Structure 1
């Protein structure tokens, strides 16, 4: 009973406390009132938000610049506060101008992407523009829109768009000194090259970085006819919507399996909806180097329409995406007599690394941030010279090529184009030897099986792959013991072998198939131990490599079947080098038929269009590399005397 009484008392106290809590306030206290400003009647998001920028050191403007046909292009302009008589730096891009200049920081250098940070020091007006049909710009997007002519019947192209943009800038940006420089990498480098076909008078200097110059011969889409099929993701990313599209969805983590399971690249693409893309239809209809590709090859067009604009053609020595364009554009212009205003720069970088940090590439480490040093000591002073009249510390040489072994920049007043090189044959020899002496032996064979292609990286190879940037310096020991990879090696070098220029692969080979690909790699084999850098012990470093599709051995425009079991010559250029193989090292040449899934598989049966080869077309073939007196397979090296 006592417990029941106690419980009843507790309940009463709780009720009393609750009643007190909700009772009227004591005398002298006013009850809380609901006022109109407390009532939610609309959105908490204002019609227009304006960020106060009183402490910003720049002013950001977004404008729509009209082109000659009335189409307006979205353009972002960042002007240092208090600016007057400043030059303008223009980049035209399909990759979102607003994303390159988000502007969400009081400091201009923190409000731009990494490629512009060194330029955002208050001495430049920065301009980024979306190309036609992308992101904020009006008009129709055409992939690397060809110049006006047979492939472009309209009255505009990226040459006229650059001209109209620069014309508007010099007339409307009152803070400028009316001088413009253009810069950009990859596709953005292509837009710079297009502007040079008919430059506006205010365009005073240009730097195409890793530009897309010839997509069939050796830049993004093909290498000597072999399709770079992993770039199919770029098609959907660029052309399924005006903004950023999605990449092709994957069924497997490993792209090796994804592309192998799909069969042909055409089957892969069309299973993922590519028939909806006009670009794919044009692309797939022209697997050979016909007029579709030849008429938009910019190295040829630049020679036909040379400019007097001082131009720096810049790329990386291990550029995994556009290793062809800059050096070939420079060579074409130089050979045509336009070398005085064109300069070649090749750094120890992967694709577009010039716009990021450059302490290393893969395991190769440099004594400093090579990209930052180059921007600050070379390219910015060079732009300043032409845009604001400041003197150069010293003239820019004809060519600046990084020396990865000496870890320094080498300057050349007379760097030779490939057509002027003196070449020394490094012959394949018996017992997988390699040397400058006469070859011997009958030849070596391997079976190339399309069902088991050689990977270009150790598996697995996921779609999102950080190793993609540095695959060209991948240690090749992961394939050296495969039966379908032939490795020829010199004895240990007793003196340095220095090569400066473009090596040439010159193979004499026969195959039991009627088509086939040939991959040739020039490799530096490190000693078994490297005390100063242990991880490089025995490293097999690719110095230069490429792939060639056999059907194009006689003509890139008119392919032909390979006669089975008959020796044919396959001669093709490898990427440019400035490299010294050191005493204690060895030189290796590797030969194989596949680099999968980066490049599509050759069915090894001749079909009209490899993109759409059928499963039954993919057959094994026995490939024999000859190195007899009448079939002297070699890599022809641009050897120079050691200093």
Structure 2
């Protein structure tokens, strides 16, 4: 029970390998978690370290082979730790008047460890996934001098822009169960319950997320009330955005950001932090370089799981094992074991190129310029401006701008009483237990959606040469709605050939490469929502998640556009109301949607395309 500066004690489990003694010191590797230190360290009754560690957050092979002292701590207010729990506790300031936060708790913990663990060599590293990635980032705010390395994996960074709670204003209502269980009790004893086998039915029957929250008793929980009180990107969310907090700090600790290209939970965070911190790495290109990035073809936390498949997608290797052996293990060793950088060389950016199934080592990211010239430098010559993939009449897609005004728009009707499922029904809740498939849903086949009348589909001709994208696609829609609010979902898809000889079930498979949602009321301001003028073409511009992918010859490129992604995201009533959390049944109305693709009103996706020789 390690004491903090305010007297609160935090439950901390310390596992010391036999190889570490007061005469043969070893580094400490710490994780701070709200998910029970006891569970993560008592996987079995074995006396062997590897058998004791539970898989979540434990890169077991790296920890055991590296001989690290393993420390896992319950954050304040959870499980064995004293104090009160606050979801993603803000840093000391306007949102937290107390003198303690995750940065001070980490500092105090490290200070105690190096003074009270005689087997330690005085060097500490911190790593963690998801929420524990957030606590890893927090350690970089006024870090302890003994902190020598940080590895935030799939970290929660900005809960409104694109991580757990919202994506561009659309609320991720399937995470209500997480809020209920995580914020409801110290030991997650309160369990969310369902009224339907299919989450689609449960959320549809409740009408709004706010009403379902009332039915389940969520209004008793502080974080849920904060979510409902702040549906827009106001100071509550802005002041908690970790990328902006870290951008105001000096970068002094070597940091390896780990990003999953198919992360169903925190696909925004790691890349936002990289973009914010890269300009601060004044030692770029030298042995003292501080910021590193690894991107793999994984689901959330997949870098410490089996990385040979992603749902139905197979790779030619265990990509996660390759990462741990060639990136994570050497990176920790060079910073915690007095090894020289030359003994464990790490590329500034290590990224998997899906489609081609190869690892790439790059000097920086993105590999192709998609932003202003003063942003992150490109690793390769830029495609300037980015290539534009235009929506065309008759459901076609090409890199050539529309030339005919014969068909100005594509029309579909969005019915909130029959929202588009984000995956095949029956839809499972968010879960990671045996039999759960939630983690891989971003790699689900999109064929079912492409056959719906309320999904606009645009497809290229069969490719005769590879098309490689490397960076952040940006959706640029000119669209109108007969309602006064609307959501826009854009999906960039790789369509496999009709027959795939080695994998027959992959014939015509539609694999999402990058996709996201945007709530139309925020088209002019993320913090100040406004109704959409009915039947008026309006521009909508928003970024899609980063991709590093080759569309191979014989494949086609597809773009799907729709106005619901249910029940992962709450339904837009398509009638403007002050807060969708309080929308009533009468507010949900059909709307006729137009996607424009004329010479004067083109819709397109900016794609960071690597030019093929």
Residue of structure 1 in register with 2:428 after alignment: 462
Following TM superposition, by how much is the alpha carbon of 1:95 offset from its aligned partner in structure 2, in angstroms? 0.1
1:203–1:337 distance in 2 versus 1, CA, 3 Å: closer
1:372 partnered with 2:316 = no
- 1:80–1:122 contact (8 Å) kept in structure 2: no
1:117 partnered with 2:60 = yes
- 2:489–2:564 contact (8 Å) kept in structure 1: yes
Deviations 1:24-80 (A, max 9, x none): xxxxxxxxxxxxxxxxxxxxxxxxxxxxxxxxxxxxxxxx00000000000000001
- 1:108–1:121 contact (8 Å) kept in structure 2: no
Residue of structure 2 in register with 1:93 after alignment: 33
Identify the range of structure 1 (84-93 vs 374-383) with the bigger mean alpha-carbon deviation.
Answer: 374-383
Residue of structure 2 in register with 1:430 after alignment: 393
Identify unmatched segments of 5+ residues in structure 1: 1-63
Deviations 1:281-329 (A, max 9, x none): 1111000000000000000000001321010111110000000000110
Of 332, 335, 346 in structure 1, the residue corresponding to residue 295 of structure 2 is 346
Give the alignment's TM-score, normalised by structure 1.
0.88
SS in structure 1 of the partner of residue 259 of structure 2:
strand
State which structure, 1 or 2, has the greater radius of gyration over its C-alpha atoms: 1
1:78 partnered with 2:15 = yes
Residue of structure 1 in register with 2:358 after alignment: 408
Residue of structure 2 in register with 1:194 after alignment: 138
SS in structure 1 of the partner of residue 16 of structure 2:
strand
- 1:198–1:307 contact (8 Å) kept in structure 2: no
SS in structure 2 of the partner of residue 155 of structure 1:
coil
Following TM superposition, by how much is the alpha carbon of 1:462 offset from its aligned partner in structure 2, in angstroms? 2.8
- 1:237–1:247 contact (8 Å) kept in structure 2: yes
Of 519, 525, 529 in structure 1, the residue corresponding to residue 495 of structure 2 is 525
Paired with 2:609 and 2:578, the residues of 1 have a C-alpha distance of 40
Paired with 2:338 and 2:327, the residues of 1 have a C-alpha distance of 15
Residue of structure 2 in register with 1:31 after alignment: none
1:583 partnered with 2:553 = yes
Write out aligned runs for 1:498-537 (5 A). 498-537=468-507
Residue of structure 1 in register with 2:409 after alignment: 443
SS in structure 1 of the partner of residue 554 of structure 2:
coil
Of 266, 272, 276 in structure 2, the residue corresponding to residue 332 of structure 1 is 276
Residue of structure 2 in register with 1:387 after alignment: 336
Give the alignment's TM-score, normalised by structure 2.
0.93
Deviations 1:191-246 (A, max 9, x none): 00011011100000010000000010000000000000000000111111100234
Which segments of structure 1 move beyond 4 Å, counting only runs of 4 or more? 336-339
Paired with 1:462 and 1:320, the residues of 2 have a C-alpha distance of 14
Paired with 2:138 and 2:594, the residues of 1 have a C-alpha distance of 44
Deviations 1:237-282 (A, max 9, x none): 1111100234421111011000000000000011110111011111
- 2:250–2:280 contact (8 Å) kept in structure 1: no
Following TM superposition, by how much is the alpha carbon of 1:391 offset from its aligned partner in structure 2, in angstroms? 3.6
Of 173, 180, 183 in structure 2, the residue corresponding to residue 239 of structure 1 is 183
Following TM superposition, by how much is the alpha carbon of 1:336 offset from its aligned partner in structure 2, in angstroms? 4.7
Of 529, 544, 548 in structure 1, the residue corresponding to residue 514 of structure 2 is 544
Following TM superposition, by how much is the alpha carbon of 1:388 offset from its aligned partner in structure 2, in angstroms? 0.7
Residue of structure 1 in register with 2:234 after alignment: 290
SS in structure 1 of the partner of residue 29 of structure 2:
strand
- 2:251–2:281 contact (8 Å) kept in structure 1: no
Deviations 1:440-483 (A, max 9, x none): 43111110000000001111113357221111011110111111
Following TM superposition, by how much is the alpha carbon of 1:418 offset from its aligned partner in structure 2, in angstroms? 4.7
Following TM superposition, by how much is the alpha carbon of 1:415 offset from its aligned partner in structure 2, in angstroms? 2.1
- 1:347–1:402 contact (8 Å) kept in structure 2: yes
Following TM superposition, by how much is the alpha carbon of 1:157 offset from its aligned partner in structure 2, in angstroms? 0.3
Paired with 2:350 and 2:326, the residues of 1 have a C-alpha distance of 13
Identify the range of structure 1 (259-268 vs 369-378) with the bigger mean alpha-carbon deviation.
Answer: 369-378
Count of aligned pairs between the two proteins: 580
SS in structure 2 of the partner of residue 594 of structure 1:
coil
Deviations 1:513-566 (A, max 9, x none): 000000000001111001122111111111000000000111101111100011
Paired with 1:293 and 1:215, the residues of 2 have a C-alpha distance of 7
Paired with 2:114 and 2:490, the residues of 1 have a C-alpha distance of 50
Residue of structure 1 in register with 2:378 after alignment: none
Paired with 2:25 and 2:370, the residues of 1 have a C-alpha distance of 43
SS in structure 2 of the partner of residue 296 of structure 1:
coil
